Amino acid sequence: MISIEGLNKIFKQNNKQLKAVDNLNLKINQGEIYGIIGYSGAGKSTFVRLINRLEEPSSGKVIIDKQEITALKSNELRLARREIGMIFQHFNLLWSRTVKENIAFPLEIAGVSKDEREKRVQELIDLVGLSGRENAYPSQLSGGQKQRVGIARALANKPKVLLCDEATSALDPETTNSILELLVDINAKMKLTIILITHEMHVIRKICSRVAVMENGKVVEQGDVLNVFQKPQQSVTKKFVEQVMGNDEDNEIINQLITNKTSGKIIRLQFIGETTNQALISEVSRKFNVDLNILQGKITQTKHGAFGTLYVQVNGDKDVIKDACRFIENETSVELEVIENAI
């Protein structure tokens, strides 16, 4: 368990105070992949550096497995940091060292014997899929391979926690997916807690169980990823969900129909599960004498299930349409919103 209590970070610039992290409180469960998302300047990277005290907090507590990291003196902190691995956006590799030498570096600092180092380094090379590249230098590696070296190095001392600060932001989509799959695999095999800092919602929805949304140094929304997708409360959260689910361009058809004063109702259905929409459309068609025209829809996968949005045009008798909508709202788990009513 990681407990963040009243965490603050104030920077002083030109006799002014900038509050980068503002009274932040979080509980992160042991073994989960927890996402922190926010736009540039939200304070998320400062926050993650406060966890291992690469930045010193102005006030507040960071507690990992009942040990208060923020209260440790320098020697104690140095030992505690061995249990907190970290990977970075731009890899931070030692360019004069080979793959295996980069991975071995934290073990050398920790005073691990040569035989043990070599054994551990080979285990990590196999784990991250770099077999055959042991003697390559960073300049000879692709971006994805460099990040795999960074991950292996962060895991060298068998940490309890892995901090990922924009670890996929410098990578192309295909490589990003391979790194995310690797993190999921590591999480499952090593049972370590992963805190993932990002500004990309598709990263969150792919591997995280829960997410906290940051804005202006504060956590403005948090919860299970599926719930946040289904019911985003804050405007910044809605923008992040739109990254995955689409918005303006995808709604051109809807806007055109509204402009042309189409008949009937246009409704938006939000549902969990790939087959929910198909079963519902079929059931409503059988129960009620209405015409249902699917305009557009999208389903996205999260770690704990699918989430979808479906736009449907409903035509028929006014009262029957009302009955059909009432049935969806009261008798199913699907959420309904009337987008346009032209009757």
Asked if 7 and 93 sit in the same domain, the reply is yes
* CATH classification of the domain holding 302: 3.30.70.260
Over the stretch 122-159, which tens digit does the pLDDT of each residue have?
999 999 999 999 999 999 999 999 999 999 999 999 99
Out of 13-17, 33-37, 243-247, pick the least confident: 243-247
Answer yes or no: are the C-beta atoms of 17 and 11 closer than 8 Å.
yes
Mean pLDDT across the chain, nearest whole number?
88
Residues 6+ apart with CB under 8 A from 67: 80
Q: Nearest CA to 86 among 65, 106, 57?
A: 106
Answer yes or no: are the C-beta atoms of 32 and 153 closer than 8 Å.
no
Model pLDDT, residue 343 = 44
Model pLDDT, residue 255 = 64
Beta-bridged to residue 164, according to DSSP, are 87, 196
Q: Which of 209, 225, 243 is the last residue of a domain?
A: 243
Mean pLDDT for 289-293 is: 85
Over the stretch 190-234, which tens digit does the pLDDT of each residue have?
999 999 999 998 899 889 999 999 999 999 999 999 888 878 899
Q: Which helix (H) or strand (E) holds 60?
A: strand 59-64
Q: Nearest CA to 331 among 275, 299, 273, 284?
A: 284
Beta-bridged to residue 214, according to DSSP, are 219
Asked if 93 and 191 sit in the same domain, the reply is yes
Out of 35-44, 115-124, 221-230, pick the least confident: 221-230
Backbone angles phi, psi at 58, to 5 degrees: -75, -35
Residue 303 has pLDDT above 80, yes or no: no
Model pLDDT, residue 266 = 85
Asked if 23 and 167 sit in the same domain, the reply is yes
Model pLDDT, residue 333 = 78
Number of domains in the chain: 2
Q: How deeply is 202 buried, as exposed, middle or buried, from its count of CB atoms within 10 A (0-12, 13-18, 19+)?
A: middle
Residue 60 has pLDDT above 50, yes or no: yes
Q: Nearest CA to 192 among 235, 226, 224, 151?
A: 151
Spatial separation of the C-alpha atoms in residues 202 and 42, rounded to whole Å: 18
Q: Which of 243, 261, 277 is the last residue of a domain?
A: 243
Give percent of the chain above pLDDT 90.
57
Question: In degrees, to the nearest 5, what angle opens at C-alpha 148 toward C-alphas 146 and 149?
Answer: 65
Asked if 299 and 253 sit in the same domain, the reply is yes
Asked if 227 and 267 sit in the same domain, the reply is no
Spatial separation of the C-alpha atoms in residues 265 and 91, rounded to whole Å: 52
Asked if 277 and 216 sit in the same domain, the reply is no
Model pLDDT, residue 234 = 92
Mean pLDDT for 23-29 is: 95
Mean pLDDT for 299-326 is: 82
Asked if 321 and 273 sit in the same domain, the reply is yes
**Amino acid code (one letter) for 15:** N
Q: Nearest CA to 197 among 26, 5, 12?
A: 26
Asked if 144 and 158 sit in the same domain, the reply is yes
Q: Which has the higher per-residue pLDDT, 162 or 17?
A: 162
Model pLDDT, residue 277 = 56
Asked if 21 and 158 sit in the same domain, the reply is yes
Q: Which has the higher per-residue pLDDT, 33 or 90?
A: 33
Over the stretch 332-343, which tens digit does the pLDDT of each residue have?
878 888 876 544
Q: Which has the higher per-residue pLDDT, 214 or 281?
A: 214
Look at the block and give the residue holding tokens 């540039």: 40
Asked if 163 and 255 sit in the same domain, the reply is no
Asked if 89 and 171 sit in the same domain, the reply is yes
Q: Which of 204, 220, 243 is the last residue of a domain?
A: 243
Secondary structure of 131-155 in the HEC alphabet? CCCCCCCHHHCCHHHHHHHHHHHHC
Spatial separation of the C-alpha atoms in residues 212 and 209, rounded to whole Å: 11
Range of the domain at 95: 2-243
How many of the other CB atoms lie within 10 Å of CB of 252? 10
198: left (phi over 0), alpha (psi -120 to 50) or beta: beta
Model pLDDT, residue 315 = 87
Q: Sorting pLDDT into bands at 50, 70 and 90, what band is 278?
A: low
Spatial separation of the C-alpha atoms in residues 164 and 180, rounded to whole Å: 11
**Amino acid code (one letter) for 319:** D
Asked if 104 and 31 sit in the same domain, the reply is yes
